[in-house]
Amino acid sequence: MLKYDCLIVGSGLFGATYAHLAHARGKKCLVIDKRSHAGGNIYCEEVEGINVHKYGAHIFHTSDEKIWSFVNSIVPFNRYTNSPIAHAPNGKLYNLPFNMNTFHQMWGVKTPIEAQAKIDEQRCKAIEKMRAEGVIEPRNLEEQALTLIGSDIYEQLIKDYTEKQWGRPCVDLPAFIIRRLPVRMTFDNNYFNDSYQGIPIGGYNKLIEGLLQGIEVRLDTDFFEQRNYWESVANQIVFTGKIDEYYGYRFGKLEYRTVRFEQVKMNTPNYQGNAVMNYTSKDVPYTRIIEHKHFEKFGMEIYENPWTVISKEYSTEWYDGMEPFYPVNDERNTAIYEKYRALTMHDTHVVFGGRLAEYKYYDMAPIISRVFKYFK
């Protein structure tokens, strides 16, 4: 008899949720992770009593009541509402997402009708210019944005930020990246449209600890270093690492974009007054500054801790050895991924799940929803 019913490779949200649900059904699970901590990319490190999101700011949001109840049954969530601020090339601050506050700050307009008229005036100019050049459909992201929202918002809040994110000029980026631009004709700075959002009280590590309670976990353990052994310990494997690595890169390496973080601890209780500040000018090399304490402390609570920790985010090309964050779902990579996916059909004893094994960007709630499907 094998030692475990299920070996789970990776203790990120997919692996930890899978382990939790399998354990609850009486399965003997072992979770291994090559990192020295559990939690994958939602792991937080405590610095001066502040939970620092080590792999990028994470805000949980969903409209699915089942998922919200599930995560809250593991750890209660707080009332954090994401309302980022943009620091624009013209030096001014604007509320995001684009809403009546943004339009008032941009043009001084006070009503939805005035705002819509301003947007339409600028959109029409862009459409007329395209038509004059014989262009019917936007050919690139720049044309797409100009015809959706007009030049002021594009120049101040979209152009440079997008170019920093993708490392390419907007005229060289495909239009489909922004097929829609959510525009809100109300004074509402809530970034998400979902019914529920928040941060686990005490941080994301509490969520992972709760999910993995009672389950054997081995850290600093890379599946590929003793592959034969790990394949022999359980009948079923849940693999949440990179799919190309699982198949020995036989069809080539999949590419990613990544983010480099520059973390600074400061002896000040409140650096920027908000968790998320987007820098939408090309003159500033980073895309965002995250001030972590604002995810968990509100109002005057901020001042109870004299310290703060910020992370500057630099969107970067990915090379081997860096954290693979965002899959690049272009033609080349999609074709390679499809070849790997075809191989998974023969490995029926393996569940390939999560952002690396499925080579797909998932927010946290959809990751949980994916795992639920295996336990219907």
Residues with a known catalytic role: 180, 184, 257, 288, 313, 361, 363
| Shortest Å distance, C-beta 80 to ligand FAD | 11
Kindly tell me which residue out of 130, 325, 328, 341 binds ligand FAD, with binding defined by CB under 6 A. Answer: 325
Tell whether residue 362 is a contact of ligand FAD (CB under 6 A): yes
Binding region for ligand FAD (CB under 6 A) out of 32-40, 70-78, 155-163, 195-203? 32-40
Contact (Cβ atoms closer than 8 angstroms) between residue 96 and residue 182: no
Which residue lies nearer to ligand FAD by CB, 40 or 150? 40
x-or-dash string of contact with ligand FAD, 96-125, rule CB under 6 A:
------------------------------
Tell whether residue 222 is a contact of ligand FAD (CB under 6 A): yes
Binding region for ligand FAD (CB under 6 A) out of 5-13, 132-140, 249-257, 291-299? 5-13
**Euclidean distance between the first and the last CA atom of the chain, given in angstroms as a whole number:** 27
Which residue lies nearer to ligand FAD by CB, 128 or 220? 220
Give the relative orientation of helices 65-74 and 204-211 as an angle to the nearest 10 degrees.
Answer: 90
Neighbouring residues of 17: CB distance < 8 A, sequence distance ≥ 6: 211, 367, 368, 371
Q: How many CB atoms lie within 10 A of CB 16?
A: 30
Q: How many CB atoms lie within 10 A of CB 222?
A: 14
x-or-dash string of contact with ligand FAD, 259-278, rule CB under 6 A:
x-------------------
| For residue 97, cis peptide bond before it (omega within 30 degrees of 0) | yes
Tell whether residue 14 is a contact of ligand FAD (CB under 6 A): yes
Contact (Cβ atoms closer than 8 angstroms) between residue 218 and residue 31: yes
Which residue lies nearer to ligand FAD by CB, 128 or 262? 262
Half-sphere exposure of 208 (CA within 13 A, CB side): 20
Contact (Cβ atoms closer than 8 angstroms) between residue 33 and residue 219: yes
Structure tokens at 60: 């949980």
Kindly tell me which residue out of 240, 278, 281, 287 binds ligand FAD, with binding defined by CB under 6 A. Answer: 240
Tell whether residue 59 is a contact of ligand FAD (CB under 6 A): yes
Going 97 to 98 to 101 to 105, the CA torsion angle's sign is positive
| Shortest Å distance, C-beta 292 to ligand FAD | 13
**What is the binding site for ligand FAD (CB under 6 A)?**
9-15, 32-35, 40-42, 56-60, 222-224, 240-241, 259, 325, 354-356, 362-365, 367
